[in-house]
Amino acid sequence: MSGSAQALDLMQRWLLAAQVQGKSPKTIEAYQRDVSGFLGFLNRYHGGDVGLSALGAVGVRDMRAWMADARGRGLSARSLARALSAVKGFYGWLLEMEGIENAAVPSMRGPRVKPNLPRPVAAGDAREMLAQVDIQHQEPWVAARDTAVILLLYGCGMRISEALGLNRAAAPLPEVLRIIGKGNKERILPVLPVARAGVEAYLKACPHDLADDGPLFIGVRGKRLGARAIQKLMEGLRGQLGLPATATPHALRHSFATHLLEAGGDLRTIQELLGHASLSSTQIYTSLDQTRLMEIYNSSHPAAKP
């Protein structure tokens, strides 16, 4: 087996281990793309096969050259930081499973990435959207369905995949719902009475017989409702209400977190409700809240006025 083939075989074994650990298919795909790119660069940079010994000998100069090459090809700082994280994960596995020690890779610092602040829908706009959902479709049961989905996204902070992944057996929705979210992680969500009522109204209006082990939300052809239908719904609402393109289904999840924080909710509770593994993922909403406070301060404080 050539050195390159050996390196690729190691990468495939690492990806399999990540899959067994419950990493999502999209994460596995990103890992493969990033580490394959890194291995391909090493082959080009050194002008030959890169096997076990070469992987262990990768130094700071190699890493800097790879990062410079990636940036030169137009890779964003955020994407490069993600790729570096994948390469570090691969090397962590190599150390644990193959005993390949390397000090340069784990010590490399990625480019500074300015965090993307989420762009929630304002509370007033969210209420207006909810008021307009049921007139977006001529079929009353479809309008009731869409209203129920939007209520779950905004009222419970569900991801669209989580809401549309619910089965009929989940209804009538309890006051507290257990769902399996990203990374197969279970979390508990309180369900607002208005959201429970929305789902019940949809079920009463729905003309289809829904099997307990089948989808809760269906399309007009009786199949599980796809995310694109809700995305199109939001596009229509944006146009009618003059909202920006950032007002997407996922923005309603951001709105859920932001509006809870503005109302005095504590960060740890919001972390649990969102299903974030790390508190740092939730703290971005604190930055958003502070940004909003500064905007109000700068526009309202007497000293800020000319």
* Residues with catalytic roles: 159, 182, 250, 253, 276, 285
CA distance 50 to 53: 8
Which residues have C-beta within 8 Å of that of residue 188, sequence separation ≥ 6?
176, 177, 178, 272
- 274 alpha carbon, distance to own chain's centre: 11
CA distance 288 to 251: 13
DSSP state of 219: -
3-state secondary structure of 161: helix
Residue 179, H or E segment? strand 176-180
Give the C-alpha distances (Å, rounded to integers) separating 101 from 3, 63, 78, 235.
Answer: 17, 15, 27, 51
Q: Which residues of 232-261 are buried (b: 16+ CB within 10 A; e: fewer)?
A: ebbeebbeeeebeeebbbbbbbbbbbbbbb
Q: 123-133 vs 227-241: helix axis angle to the nearest 10?
A: 110
CA distance 67 to 134: 50
CA distance 156 to 159: 9
CA distance 256 to 151: 10
